[in-house]
Structure 1
Amino acid sequence: MSIIVNDTWLKERLENKLENTVVVDARFQLNDPEAGRKAYLESHIPHAVYLDLNKDLSGKAEKHGGNHPLPDMDMFAAKIGNIGIDHDTAVVIYDQRNDMFAARLWWLLNYMGHENVYLLDGGFEKWVEQGHEVSSEIPTLSATDFQPIFRENQVADIDEVKEKLDNKSAVLIDSRGRDRYLGKTEPLYPKAGHIPGAKNYFWKNVLDEDGNWKNDTDLQENFSALSKDDEIIVSCGSGVSACPNVLALKKAGYKNVKLYPGSFSDWISYEENEIEKKDE
């Protein structure tokens, strides 16, 4: 079954298999960190629970590690269990539309070994457009025990990135917009440009002109310059917008795909690291 599901599938599942489904609202705005939670409290898909990028899906930003480092994984696993998720639970995650934050949670659960995790195509906006029911009620969920089975081969730290760039044993992707990749603009960080050797694959290119997820064939075309024999390390600014590209690569049939959670914000925290501004 596809990782991407539609509103009709979710509506039917909620009506028929609610006891084995947890819906997670992952809406967030980088320029207004409380906006997602406020939107959730006002209106959400019935029975959905809210998880926050900064408070739940990331650890505390420090000098090194990037602006959205991975959370403490033991604490995160406990939090996931507390909202009723175990390995038998179907988890459906949605964003406002097809934004980057739902994919971040998808990656975290996938990294912890959960097989049954889906993204809602079109997110909350599409759900409302289709006339489905919404709610402001906070659900009562039964806590369970989530035991992570970490897939360590799906994450890379800065030392591994450096080593594999040096010996050319992996391809590094930068998922940010082209102007940020080329250093023409940088709204978030004190330095502009990209990690030397990184190739630019803007994460929004995994969506079609209507903003919906591309099918597997179109995703294969999007990444056609990459070999499926390559190891691919995916980065962005702080390990969030990289996650849609990780998901898309897997949908397109790439097996050896890793996330560099620290990404550019981690890279530039080391003064000795060089920065590139030309296309590669």
Structure 2
Amino acid sequence: MPQFLDAAEVKSFAGVVIDCRFSLADANAGREDHGRGHIPGARYLDLATDMSAAVGVHGGRHPLPATHVFAQTLAGLGIDHSTEVLLYDDSRFAFAARCWWMMRALGYPEPRILSGGYAAWRALGDAPETTVSSVPAIEAPCVPEEWPGACDKEQLAALQGQSAVLVDAREAQRYRGEHEPIDPVAGHIPGAINLPWQSFSNEVGEFLDHEALRACWGDKLDASPMVVYCGSGVSACVNILSLAELGREDVWLYGGSWSDWCSYL
């Protein structure tokens, strides 16, 4: 079950801190923000280059990388299956949750997540670090060949044949097809219900308490099987994070999400 760390506790955290900041509007912004200032000692993971594979005709805008490639990326930051990790972003957990899901799926110790993100830490008044230091690489651990808990379009169809509840984590306007700023086709996968990923945190990036999370899910909380998707398999991880907070560990992520599904139309 996830553990959220308050900003005041960061100084006493003895593990590796990972900066996951990213912008879908500007793929360079997160790394540039890291260079301008980050929590001292934090290492950077880039959604597009570290947490995704190359984009193809199908697979979505942020396809999951090969499991061994991601394990090697983490090893390059000094992370193996014995490393405690703290993740943060500045986007209400969207990118930190993607890293959380990936690490947990591959058997790493479940990362902790900074409540309130980078802004909460900056509000303490501590000086950010601007130097980016290299880290000695270590040997990558063995990981599964496939991503546990991730499904593709064909597997999604099979799960829907088992009456799976399919949850679209995008904003309501995108779900309804009224506004599509990123993908070439608007709309949603037939049969999906909508529960936007922003529902699970407040505007300052603090996760809701368990009572509020249960209220968000309502009578769908115990639905099984359940598959969650978004635009490209990123913000849907916030929904999965909320379910993990409530004890659900059996939820599927449609990795390619809408950007994969609509590529077949």
TM over 0.5: yes
Q: Which one-letter code corresponds to 1:166 in the other structure?
A: G
Q: Residues 209 and 134 (structure 1 numbering): CA distance in 2 closer, same or farther, change over 3 Å? A: closer
* Unaligned ranges ≥5, structure 1: 272-280
Matched, 1:121 2:104: no
Render the CA deviation track for 1:196-248: whole Å, top value 9, x for unaligned.
Answer: 01110100000035431112222122112214251211100110111111111
Do the aligned partners of 1:97 and 1:126 also contact (CA within 8 Å) in 2?
no
Render the CA deviation track for 1:25-57: whole Å, top value 9, x for unaligned.
Answer: 111111111111111111100001111111111
Aligned partner of 1:258 in structure 2 is: 252
Matched, 1:172 2:166: yes
SS in structure 1 at match of 2:263: coil
Q: CA deviation at 1:141?
A: 2.1
Counterparts of 1:22-61 in structure 2, within 5 Å, are: 22-61=16-55
Aligned partner of 1:139 in structure 2 is: 133
Distance 1:66 1:189 in 2: 10
Matched positions, count:
264
Q: Which one-letter code corresponds to 1:45 in the other structure?
A: I
Distance 2:132 2:45 in 1: 13
Q: CA deviation at 1:9?
A: 1.9
Moved over 3 A (4+): 148-153
Aligned partner of 1:200 in structure 2 is: 194
Q: Which one-letter code corresponds to 1:38 in the other structure?
A: E
Q: Which one-letter code corresponds to 1:184 in the other structure?
A: E
Q: Which of these residues, 56, 59, 70, is aligned with residue 62 of structure 1?
A: 56
SS in structure 2 at match of 1:233: strand
Distance 2:150 2:249 in 1: 13
Aligned partner of 1:277 in structure 2 is: none
Aligned partner of 1:158 in structure 2 is: 153
Do the aligned partners of 1:217 and 1:252 also contact (CA within 8 Å) in 2?
no
* Unaligned ranges ≥5, structure 2: none
Q: TM-score, normalised by structure 1?
A: 0.89
Do the aligned partners of 2:22 and 2:46 also contact (CA within 8 Å) in 1?
yes
Distance 2:117 2:107 in 1: 24
Do the aligned partners of 2:106 and 2:148 also contact (CA within 8 Å) in 1?
no
Distance 2:91 2:223 in 1: 32
Aligned partner of 2:10 in structure 1 is: 10
SS in structure 2 at match of 1:24: strand
Do the aligned partners of 1:59 and 1:69 also contact (CA within 8 Å) in 2?
yes
Q: TM-score, normalised by structure 2?
A: 0.94
Do the aligned partners of 2:168 and 2:230 also contact (CA within 8 Å) in 1?
yes
Q: How much is the aligned-residue C-alpha RMSD, in angstroms?
A: 1.6
Aligned partner of 1:234 in structure 2 is: 228
Q: Which moved more, 1:250-259 or 1:146-155?
A: 146-155
Do the aligned partners of 2:71 and 2:143 also contact (CA within 8 Å) in 1?
no
Query: What percentage of residue pairs aligned between the two structures are identical?
Result: 38
Counterparts of 1:182-193 in structure 2, within 5 Å, are: 182-193=176-187
Q: Residues 72 and 222 (structure 1 numbering): CA distance in 2 closer, same or farther, change over 3 Å? A: same
